């Protein structure tokens, strides 16, 4: 199904992409909506700590577990901390976890995959084996194992998410690079005396990049869900750091007793973010991969 070689992009210039993007956004209000959400998330990540009404770490035991009100829009948690402030401030960390793990897997998986597809032979075999081995693992348990073994820090959560996604990136990158290896423009570059590395860097990578970017958006959502799952079994970030997953996991114990807001608002924030990344990924795919346009 991934026979992109059949439709090599003739006009890969920036203007064409912009025009096409505008077309897709216009055609596809959901993507437009997702893009607006994305901007909001980025803003919250950048300015969050400066605009929130309360210190997200300050407890106020006289105000513990208060329902949403004008003072506390999302209510307060067990220690009387403002849930709204915590949810907003958490955006930066969650966004960081998502972006960092995706960037890492992009570097590891993307480069390994491109090299495998381009050079073939042993490189291909080794990368393929590594990817197969990781794929054979139950992925969430592998992530758990990595975090449990290395310690539950943000870095390790990022690393675990990246490793778990490695096969996906490696395979996509490999397939794309493999197709282009024999493509006309690569042949032309080769004939004009360019080295393999040069071709790899200037001809192959720029073409594989957009395909991977689509994947990155989808993986960002997964990274946040993964972190939330780890929090649920006690392997999340260090308290009292606000992070959506751990807030949902800790708030869950208050659902039955009626203090739903503890889990609900961070859960909603988490869902909105993941939702946004997923929709954006879809939208990006439409832009980058016109084959899907019908």
Contact residues for another protein, defined by CB under 8 A: 1, 27-30, 57-59, 61, 64, 78-80, 129-130, 132-133, 135-142, 144-146, 148-152, 221, 225, 228-229, 232-234, 238-240, 245, 248-250, 252-257, 260, 263, 267, 270-272, 274-275, 278-279, 282, 292, 294
Nearer to another protein, 46 or 255 (CB): 255
**Which are the contacts of 1, defined by CB distance < 8 A and separation ≥ 6?**
none
Least distance from another protein to the Cβ atom of residue 65, Å: 8
Work out the number of other CB atoms within 10 angstroms of the CB of residue 281: 21
| Residue 277 contacts residue 215 (beta carbons within 8 Å) | no
Alpha-carbon distance of 162 to 226, in angstroms, equals 11
Among candidate residues 258, 133, 278, the one with its CA nearest the CA of residue 214: 278
- Which C-beta is closer to another protein: that of 70 or that of 256? 256
Minimum distance from residue 193 beta carbon to another protein (Å) = 36
- The minimum distance between CB 74 and another protein, in angstroms, equals 16
* Pick 73 or 275: Cβ nearer another protein: 275
* Cα–Cα distances in angstroms (integers) from residue 190 to residues 9, 26, 28, 113, 193, in the given order: 19, 40, 40, 21, 5
CA distances (Å), origin 86, targets 81, 82, 203, 210: 8, 6, 45, 35
One-character DSSP codes across 175-210: HHHHHHHTSHHHHHHHHTT--HHHHIIIIIHHHHHH
CB of 15 to another protein, least distance (A): 24
For residues 107 and 141, which CB has a smaller minimum distance to another protein in the complex? 141
* Closer residue to another protein (CB): 143 or 186: 143
Shortest CB 42 distance to another protein, Å = 18
Cβ 123 to another protein shortest distance, Å: 16
Closest approach, Cβ 185 to another protein, in A, equals 25
Task: Return the number of the residue (188 or 233) whose C-beta is nearest another protein.
Answer: 233
| Closest CB 24 distance from another protein, rounded Å | 10
**Closest CB to another protein among 205 and 235?**
235
* CA distance linking residue 76 with residue 51, whole number of Å: 18
Backbone torsions φ then ψ of 165, nearest 5 degrees: -90, -5
Distance CA 231, CA 236 (A): 4
Distance CA 236, CA 268 (A): 18
8 A C-beta contact, residue 231 and residue 248: yes
Nearer to another protein by Cβ, of 164 and 205: the residue is 164
Q: Which tokens belong to 116? A: 């495998």
């Amino acid at each position: 199904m991934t026979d992109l070689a059949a439709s090599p992009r003739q006009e890969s210039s920036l203007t064409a992409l912009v025009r096409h993007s505008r077309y897709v956004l216009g055609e596809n209000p959901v993507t437009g909506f997702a893009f607006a959400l994305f901007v909001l998330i980025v803003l919250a990540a950048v300015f969050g700590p400066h605009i929130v009404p309360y210190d997200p770490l300050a407890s106020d035991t006289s105000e513990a577990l208060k329902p949403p009100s004008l003072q506390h829009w999302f209510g307060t948690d067990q220690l009387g901390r403002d849930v709204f402030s915590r949810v907003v401030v958490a955006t930066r960390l969650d966004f960081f976890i998502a972006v960092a793990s995706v960037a890492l897997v992009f570097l590891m998986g993307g480069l390994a995959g491109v090299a495998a597809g381009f050079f073939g032979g042993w490189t291909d075999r080794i990368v393929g084996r590594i990817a197969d081995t990781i794929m054979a693992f139950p992925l969430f348990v592998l992530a758990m194992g990595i975090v449990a073994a290395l310690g539950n820090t943000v870095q390790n959560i990022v690393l675990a998410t990246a490793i778990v996604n490695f096969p996906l990136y490696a395979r996509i990158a490999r397939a794309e690079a493999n197709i282009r290896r024999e493509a006309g423009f690569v042949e032309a570059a080769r004939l004009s005396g360019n080295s393999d590395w040069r071709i790899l860097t200037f001809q192959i990578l720029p073409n594989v990049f957009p395909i991977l970017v689509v994947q990155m958006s989808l993986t960002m959502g997964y990274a946040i869900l993964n972190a939330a799952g780890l929090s649920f079994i006690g392997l999340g970030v260090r308290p009292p750091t606000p992070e959506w997953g751990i807030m949902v996991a800790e708030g869950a114990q208050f659902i039955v007793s009626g203090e739903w807001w503890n889990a609900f608002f961070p859960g909603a924030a988490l869902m909105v973010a993941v939702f946004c990344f997923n929709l954006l990924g879809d939208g990006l795919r439409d832009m980058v991969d016109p084959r899907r346009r019908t």
